[in-house]
Structure 1
Amino acid sequence: MTKFPPAEIRLSNLRERMAQTETDLVVLGPSSHMDWLSGVHPHGDERPVMLVVSQKYAGFLMPALNAAAARISTDLPFHFWRDDQGPDEALAELLAACGANVPNLTVVLDETMRADFALRILDALETPKRRFTGDTVSLLRASKDQSEFEAIKAAHLLNDAAIKAAFEALKEGVTEGEIVAVINEHYKKHGAALEFCSVCFGESGAFPHHYSGSTKLGANTAVLIDSGCRLNGYPSDMTRCGFFGTPDETYKEVFDVVEQAVQAALEASKPGARASDIDKAARDVISAAGYGDYFLHRTGHGLGIDIHEEPYIAANSDRVLVEGNVFSIEPGIYLNGKFGVRLEEIVILRETGAEIFSDMPRDMILR
């Protein structure tokens, strides 16, 4: 089991970042932000659950119903409320403990929390100034520590084996859904859970977010498999492509262009580069080959506790990347009515450039 740093270290880093950004209060809902900071991941329903952090205090607004389960994961104080009481009094006590009973506080709100939770906080404060977590919690989460690297690496090595097993299971007449089952069974056998899986035969591959179904594999058919598992709290994500039978020249050309785009994006992935620089490196290759209109999405997304998180590798992002950032590089070309090719790696930025998590080659897989 991967050992993660104590919550106290992440809380200290957050407070340092709060001081740098002149943030008075951070309020997190029952989300991956809360999980990352405290290890607490309560069931999210209509009962307000919040972790509130100031420089002097950190504590939870906690429904009594959830308290026993949450206490296993944290020593931070709880401000309880029962269903027959409502949360207002407990929230007022928590905010007072945080020193938040003064006007004009700058508050960072968890952008993933329920709107009624966020409005409850804003209504309880006097003329607050608010923003979201982009320069505090999200920024800290985007730089992975060694324990997170080890967890993500383990998930990817397991994913490699599952996708290899999936390609080996290809045979004429098998359905996309049956190949999903092969992958899912491999995950379960090795202690992981299915995070997502898209198996695409032929024309299905032209839809970047295809839902695998009853389509059967026939002779001379393109195959795209994009899948990920969750192991020890962290996910994997990888796409590999191949051909069942003999690929034609168009498929081979498209595959080669996408591989060149991956290589260009990898070369551009260095600390100090902007996210848009990496997107441009991949997009320029595909556009120069005449397929620019068929690259339908951004080049990548961050990966951590969430399968999609900061940083996003997109043309409209000037975010400067730093060591420890983890993100996907996944250019694709999608030819409607024919096939799609997407090759995806998850990488971590090191001082010298991008390190790939997967050990599985990107070569065209022929069956």
Structure 2
Amino acid sequence: MNPTLTTRLANLRARMAQTNTDLVVLGPSSHMLYMADLSPHGDERPVLLMVSPTFAGFLMPALNVDSARQHTDLPFFPWADADGPDAALKDLLAATGVTRTAPSIVLDETMRTDFALLVLDALPGARRRFTQDTVGYLRSRKDDAEYDALKKSAVLNDAAMAAGFAALRPGITEVEVATVIRDFYKANGATTEFCSVCFGPNGAFPHHHTGDTRLMDRDAVLIDTGGRIHGYPSDMTRVGYFGSKPQGFDEIHAILDRAVTAAIAAAKPGVPASAVDKAARDVITEAGYGPNFLHRTGHGLGIDVHETPYITATSNTVLEEGMVFSIEPGIYLQGRFGLRLEEIVIIRNGTAEILSDMPRTAISGG
């Protein structure tokens, strides 16, 4: 087995011991990709990875076995369409050695409900929870290889963002700017994870759907974009304007930059995630725009664009070395414009290190 996967499996078993977990069950998901470097075709045919303290193996449709074997040497318990998965599932459960009447099991919260019910029906006395304190816990603490991949993805995203702002010209549409960014990712070996381009009042919608709005003088411009390369995504928001600045732009931009700076300073090992949210939110509230900050301060980033830890006012997650997350306060002024500044940081060597190399200064177009 790949040494990284061997380490991850050992780490998972250590967490299982610490959390009194008898069995972890994962479906086709980023959790399975993390644990086994396998992302099988997801359809109605049950695919499961089961990990116990003494065994790990797959329930796998027979027609996928040969392809999946290229990625893992863990044992398969195959089943054919003509037979159904019940017998193979029974054999796999027996192999795990889980014999307690009421085992403590962890289910992948992202897998299909019918897959989860197969497991629960086979273990009727099971006490079940989701992956937060096992696989999710491990995934939130990035290793050196993950740091390198995320850093490379962030630096490429800097250049994609610059290409988007460089494309601004009178009358260009949001969709056309997004196409420039998507083409940049493709030309540099990456895929587009998402791309939101917002002109003028559209920036006041935190999740604006990029459309046919045309760029005009005095428009604020907000671009939130991310690509994926080497298996890991990027995520960053930058703002600017076209022609003349809209009234109030500099004030809001300065407040947000102070909020980002305060949140980064607060993000240290041993600090609850809620304290990072508070640091950003206090700056905005004290400036008189508290009601215009409409969302949490951040989310974790890893294999998924959104994963633990979540930087919210109520999160009691304690930050630790290796955690990667966004800091992205925003102020949204309906009918005028909205601004958001976003950095991805990693808790590294006791502080929050920014992955991007791109300044947060406003970008002038036109």
TM-score by length of 2: 0.98
One-letter amino acid of the counterpart of residue 142, structure 2: K
Aligned alpha-carbon RMSD (Å): 0.9
Tell me what 2:237 maps to.
Answer: 239
Q: Are 2:220 and 2:246, in contact at CA under 8 Å, matched by a contact in 1?
A: no
Any idea what SS the aligned residue of 2:15 has?
Answer: helix
Alignment of 1:196-215 (within 5 A): 196-215=194-213
Tell me what 1:285 maps to.
Answer: 283
Counterpart selection for 1:138 from 136, 139, 157: 136
Alignment of 1:32-47 (within 5 A): 32-47=30-45
Counterpart selection for 2:10 from 3, 9, 12: 12
Distance 2:41 2:311 in 1: 31
Shift of 1:126: 3.9
Distance 2:333 2:80 in 1: 56
One-letter amino acid of the counterpart of residue 168, structure 1: A
1:269-323 per-residue CA deviation (whole Å, 9 max, x = no partner) reads: 0001101000000000001111100101000000000000000000110110100
Distance 1:176 1:248 in 2: 18
Alignment of 1:317-332 (within 5 A): 317-332=315-330
Shift of 1:172: 0.4
Distance 1:321 1:266 in 2: 12
Shift of 1:245: 1.4
Q: Are 1:101 and 1:126, in contact at CA under 8 Å, matched by a contact in 2?
A: no
1:303-345 per-residue CA deviation (whole Å, 9 max, x = no partner) reads: 0000000000001101101000000000000111111100000
Any idea what SS the aligned residue of 2:132 has?
Answer: helix
Shift of 1:139: 0.3
Distance 1:153 1:68 in 2: 34
Tell me what 1:347 maps to.
Answer: 345
Tell me what 1:263 maps to.
Answer: 261
Counterpart selection for 1:224 from 222, 225, 238: 222
One-letter amino acid of the counterpart of residue 164, structure 1: A
Distance 2:85 2:99 in 1: 17
Any idea what SS the aligned residue of 2:248 has?
Answer: helix
Q: Are 1:200 and 1:224, in contact at CA under 8 Å, matched by a contact in 2?
A: yes
Distance 1:293 1:126 in 2: 48
Alignment of 1:306-325 (within 5 A): 306-325=304-323
Tell me what 1:296 maps to.
Answer: 294
Tell me what 1:89 maps to.
Answer: 87
Distance 1:294 1:134 in 2: 31
Shift of 1:249: 4.2
Distance 1:92 1:284 in 2: 55
Distance 2:82 2:181 in 1: 47
Distance 2:235 2:63 in 1: 35
Q: Are 2:321 and 2:350, in contact at CA under 8 Å, matched by a contact in 1?
A: no
Unaligned runs of 5+ residues in structure 2 are none
1:124-160 per-residue CA deviation (whole Å, 9 max, x = no partner) reads: 0141111111110000000000100111111111110
Any idea what SS the aligned residue of 2:115 has?
Answer: helix
Counterpart selection for 1:167 from 165, 168, 182: 165
TM-score by length of 1: 0.98
1:238-295 per-residue CA deviation (whole Å, 9 max, x = no partner) reads: 0000011121441111111111100010000000110100000000000111110010
Q: Are 2:219 and 2:246, in contact at CA under 8 Å, matched by a contact in 1?
A: no
Runs of 4+ in 1 over 2 A off after TM superposition: none
1:87-108 per-residue CA deviation (whole Å, 9 max, x = no partner) reads: 0000000000001243110001
Any idea what SS the aligned residue of 1:130 has?
Answer: strand
One-letter amino acid of the counterpart of residue 240, structure 1: R
One-letter amino acid of the counterpart of residue 15, structure 1: R
Any idea what SS the aligned residue of 1:134 has?
Answer: coil
Distance 1:236 1:39 in 2: 20
Distance 1:190 1:163 in 2: 13
